[in-house]
Structure 1
């Protein structure tokens, strides 16, 4: 049907919006604009074959109805999804900050994102499977805890980058902050403040803990504090921190400082220590990890090791897009790249407010 025929056959526009609550389709736009559905497709694809007047009428009808192109379906027809899957841990506030930055970075690279949360009732592997079912071209795994060989197998299907987990695989990339340097800064800071009886409340089995624990013990030994420090189980939540510090102060009542696995744990430590009659920082100095938004709360003012979410996100998206594009072009597999980004200690009142 020609443009003229279409105009003659459908002179009056259709209803402004379908009233059934369903997704607006090309057929709805065609009826509203008084043209054929194939002609709407031509206009939406910006292909030749439609006159300027018809093109304007179709676009006006589409805008009035709120029509949106199904970009995912279009890309899949072309063999691409331009979709990055992000696996995150719902209980980690810092992951929320990372997601925001990842979405911005992905959009800048021309990709969309799809999210899958790890919760008490859904493990990491299930979250990854859900995203693979959406035909993502790449995966960004936040705080991954899977064994390297398991991630290697996933990397055989799609581009993979892990964030805040240190791996050494040749099949996928990783980016993380310098956990070792961060722990060293924390120990030196507390030692400079006169503390010798220092505790590390870790989170056994959680990404990053092994490096922080080993560095804590090494630094304490270098400071001659082997007999005065202790590594104790804590966890990654406020409740874990509260339980951990209560048990720790029973076994080490003379402790004057504690380094927590993360800011959430530190928040629980501060709250429970105060309930136990300890003043922070006068009786117990506290240092966290992540420098999350909570660290700046007036009642907390937590000294923390900063992880820059924008820097982590930018690096992660750059690497996963590079891998995805190489796969799309049929290029040979890229070697694994593993970046460690610098960190810094942000000093606040919880540790006495002194700089290292």
Structure 2
């Protein structure tokens, strides 16, 4: 979005020229010129003064074109996932800083992901951020040919679109190393199935266990509380020496935790439990879950920058994947194994 006036003395005066003189970013200068809320009074005054001094006037043709832009970013999310809620809180200010608004499309049992995406496109969204999408690579590639698409918390390398995610393999390895450091040797993983991130977390768990020559113990599951409940019930029937559980995400971990506690199992005295995401669910006082944290603020910033860069013509590079480093958050659901436990 370049708006400028021809100046015979020095050529075109661009918005970038105005931003440079005012000492602000081009995006902020654009917000001031377009009278978008957000910039401080000092920044607004500096941009307007620079524009006046340089004789800058918005190009009427560019203004007309701009009116046909919606400046809307569509976001697909799962309203039942607490980590998606954390991401949404971070996405709104990230989008507003770039002069865009967010439109939400919920993926629920009664509304498929494809219908939610169709609704976002029908709402004139110029780009899509797909949080935890389970769409096949071919479908994502087709979407990406129509408009800028960035997948969040999922790999995008085979889909031909940008991706922003945490290094899940390293995160799962760190969780296993924490438990090993506490003395656990029989650690069970409740798998995330085909959910985004599950493959990398499973690989990280296996890598860490095999590195220490310990038994790999993976049980089927997914990223829901119900999955955790089923895994915990199976554990109660036959513990098999297991003293710690790594769940595919926080929702699953809470299902494990609640079922064990209702059965009278001391957590962490008899069994340690670790989740993944550090969602608002994990941070609740009565849950107090040890987990692997993803940074929703950084994920949101990178995701918005990714689509805005393509929309504003600043990014012409091939589709790329941006990784952030996860980190452990140790709370009250992990501790040493019972003294009577045996090695794996």
**Normalising TM by the smaller chain, what interval?**
0.7 to 0.9
Shift of 1:186: 0.5
The correspondence for 1:210, drawn from 189, 199, 209, is 199
Q: Which moved more, 1:179-188 or 1:160-169?
A: 160-169
Question: Where does residue 115 of structure 2 map in the other structure?
Answer: 126
Unaligned runs of 5+ in 1: 1-44, 47-73
The 4+ residue runs of structure 1 with deviation greater than 6 A are: 74-77
Cα gap change, 1:76 to 1:121, in 2 (>3 Å): farther
Write the deviation string for residues 241-300 of structure 1: whole angstroms up to 9, x where unpaired: 111221234344421000011111111111101122211001110000011122122222
Aligned positions of 1:24-103 closer than 5 A:
78-103=67-92
The correspondence for 1:117, drawn from 106, 126, 135, is 106
Question: Where does residue 225 of structure 1 map in the other structure?
Answer: 214
Write the deviation string for residues 79-118 of structure 1: whole angstroms up to 9, x where unpaired: 3111100000111011011011101100000001100000
Question: Where does residue 333 of structure 2 map in the other structure?
Answer: 350
Question: Where does residue 269 of structure 1 map in the other structure?
Answer: 256
Cα gap change, 1:277 to 1:332, in 2 (>3 Å): closer
Larger Rg: 1
Question: Where does residue 197 of structure 1 map in the other structure?
Answer: 186
| Secondary structure of 1:351 counterpart | coil
- Are 2:130 and 1:141 aligned? yes
Contact 1:169–1:336 at 8 Å: present in 2 too?
Answer: no
Question: Where does residue 25 of structure 1 map in the other structure?
Answer: none
Contact 1:177–1:340 at 8 Å: present in 2 too?
Answer: yes
Write the deviation string for residues 209-268 of structure 1: whole angstroms up to 9, x where unpaired: 111112211210111102xx3101222122221112212343444210000111111111
- Are 2:320 and 1:337 aligned? yes
Question: Where does residue 145 of structure 2 map in the other structure?
Answer: 156
Q: Which moved more, 1:296-305 or 1:114-123?
A: 296-305
Q: Distance in 2 between matches of 1:218 and 1:140?
A: 31
Contact 1:241–1:266 at 8 Å: present in 2 too?
Answer: yes
Root-mean-square deviation (CA, aligned residues, Å) is: 2.2
Shift of 1:169: 4.2
Write the deviation string for residues 159-205 of structure 1: whole angstroms up to 9, x where unpaired: 00111001214732110011011001001000111101110001211
State the TM-score, normalized to the length of structure 2.
0.76
Contact 1:323–1:334 at 8 Å: present in 2 too?
Answer: no
Contact 2:171–2:204 at 8 Å: present in 1 too?
Answer: no
The correspondence for 2:229, drawn from 235, 242, 257, is 242
Question: Where does residue 21 of structure 1 map in the other structure?
Answer: none
